[in-house]
Amino acid sequence: MAGTDKTQNQVLGPAPVVVLVHPQLGENIGTAARAMANFGLHELRLVAPRDGWPNDRATTASSGAHWILDRAQVFSEVVSSLKNMNYVYATTARPRDMIKEVITPEQAGDDMRVRVGRGERVALLFGRERWGLSNDEVSLADVIVTAPVNPAFASINIAQAVLLMGYEWFKEHATTLGQQSPQLAALRGPGLQTPSTRLATKEELYGLFEHLERELDAAGFFKTEKKKPTMLLNIRNMFGRAQLTEQEIRSLRGMVSSLTRTHQRRREPGA
């Protein structure tokens, strides 16, 4: 499918951020960038790419989508790559033993357009070539996106996964670019009403997790070190699902602080 119109400008409006977690082959980073370019995605983040960065093989494989690679940001861990995001979609090929909503790429496309349309920053999380995302990484996301594939051959290349998500992002967008879309306006309805506040950033959410973990640790809540990772995962999934606003995060942290101070105050001399 050749046919680039060189006279057209790149479409660089607000769009979902693509985060590749521990990508192994430069070729895949390059073809992912090409797929991004096809569908108007332009912000790429790499978490600890195996072969370092920049990577010549990525450039070659990108077929000219160099502006995406040039501006790619590199992070050492997933958490830091998501800090200024409001909403994160984790792409997985198989069902996870996790309490988290699972949607299709098509549903994700609708959802992304609504969120980006109202000013939220959203990210698409893609796993490493060999085994995808870890449960821990998935727990950092708000929702799981799984494409309906042949269960007998479910392994999708990263660039292909990026392509599907980009395609679904751009599919409807393409018809309404630059104009007020009644379709998008209609979709805005069922979204979260956040009257006088805004959705929390991931940095704020992760701050809550750390605060909670610290206090629960001090309280001996995690009976054994072995159980702790699973318990933390469950806590993250639970709070992650609620799509908390920044005000609610502050309120929850206030609650945690209050609760831990309770008996302290009661037992203070003279109290």
Q: Tell me how many residues contact its own copies (CB under 8 A).
A: 113
Tell me the C-alpha distance between 142 and 240, whole Å: 6
Which of residues 76, 190, 224, 270 is near its own copies by CB under 8 A?
190
Tell me the C-alpha distance between 56 and 38, whole Å: 21
Bridge pairing between strands 73-75 and 87-91:
unpaired
Q: Using the rule CB under 8 A, is 211 a contact of its own copies?
A: no
Q: Using the rule CB under 8 A, is 134 a contact of its own copies?
A: no
Which of residues 40, 49, 109, 117 is near its own copies by CB under 8 A?
40
Contacts to its own copies from residues 148-167, by CB under 8 A: 148-161, 163-164, 167
Which of residues 11, 48, 74, 79 is near its own copies by CB under 8 A?
11
Q: Using the rule CB under 8 A, is 176 a contact of its own copies?
A: no
Tell me the C-alpha distance between 139 and 156, whole Å: 21
Check if the beta carbon of residue 192 is closer than 8 Å to that of residue 243: yes
Binding pattern to its own copies, positions 70-109, x when CB under 8 A?
---------------------xxxxxxxxxxxxxxxxx--
Query: Residue 217 belongs to what H/E stretch?
Result: helix 202-218
The CB-of-49 to its own copies minimum distance in angstroms stands at: 18
Q: Using the rule CB under 8 A, is 35 a contact of its own copies?
A: yes
- Nearest residue (CB) to its own copies, 48 versus 187: 187
The CB-of-73 to its own copies minimum distance in angstroms stands at: 20
Q: Using the rule CB under 8 A, is 37 a contact of its own copies?
A: yes
How many Cβ atoms sit within 10 Å of the Cβ of residue 32?
31
Tell me the C-alpha distance between 186 and 184, whole Å: 5
Q: Taking the mean position of all CA atoms in its chain, how far away is CA 176?
A: 25
Signed CA dihedral, 228, 233, 234, 238: sign only: positive
Span near its own copies by CB under 8 A; candidates 16-24, 47-55, 191-199, 202-210: 191-199
